Amino acid sequence: MQTRASLEHIFGSKVRVRLLKLFLEHPEERFYVREITRRIRSHIHSVRRELANLCRVGLINVQAISPQTFGRTSRTNRKFYVANPECVIFAELRALLIKGQHFLQDELKRELTKMGSIRYLALTGFFVHLEGFPTDLVVVGRVSKEKCARLIQEYEEEFGRTINYTILSLKEFMDRKSLMDRFLYNFFEAEKIVLIDSLPAPVRIGV
């Protein structure tokens, strides 16, 4: 897809884009190599190479943490990586990636609407930095679950992570809402980005 290709073209590689997203979206967190590899679902050798590149340009700093900090008996310091907000291009890159995220969201909306009749579509979970939330994407309507599964797989490759999603028919949504089950209650209360909302007025969820 054009948006994905353009981001990879600008930044040089898919792994680099994933690393930039991870560090620019979590500028106060520090990560070790194997944790990064797991989170962006990339090979460790590629991750090490791109980390070295980003360290050279000053976007990422390396921190050596004593093993005693973690109650370990090893004599070797543990190496962590953390974003460097003082880098002169940090803010500009972050703004560019945020714009790229918006393009991807619009693209996802367009692709999903081709798969059926969608009455409601919202992004939550990692899209709004709610890590650990039970779902990242909620679809209400008549759609092909098989086609949705294939599309979500493509976006998992782009984001370098699993995307948990929930598909409900309008009837199932209305029935569960009338019972106010725990999943929908938590979803109603959570932060979300609403991309489509043509639900009947009395049950509109809003932003």
The CATH number that applies at residue 33 is: 1.10.10.10
The model's pTM is: 0.70
Into how many domains does the chain fold? 2
What gap in Å lies between CA 107 and CA 138, rounded to an integer?
A: 16
81 and 145 share a domain? no
What gap in Å lies between CA 10 and CA 12, rounded to an integer?
A: 6
Residue 177 lies in a domain: yes
Give residue 59's domain range: 2-94
CA distances to 32, 33, 37, 83 from 59, in Å:
16, 16, 18, 6
Q: Which residue has the tokens 């759609």?
A: 143
Residue 183 lies in a domain: yes
The helix or strand, by DSSP H or E, that contains position 9, with its residue range, turns out to be helix 2-11
Per-residue pLDDT in tens (0 to 9) along the chain, 207 residues: 444 445 554 566 888 888 998 999 889 999 999 999 998 888 999 999 999 999 999 999 999 876 665 555 555 668 899 999 999 999 998 888 888 778 888 888 999 999 889 999 999 998 888 888 999 999 999 999 999 999 999 888 777 788 999 999 999 999 998 888 899 999 999 999 999 999 886 555 544
57 and 118 share a domain? no
84 and 130 share a domain? no
Determine contact, residues 20/97, Cβ cutoff 8 Å: yes
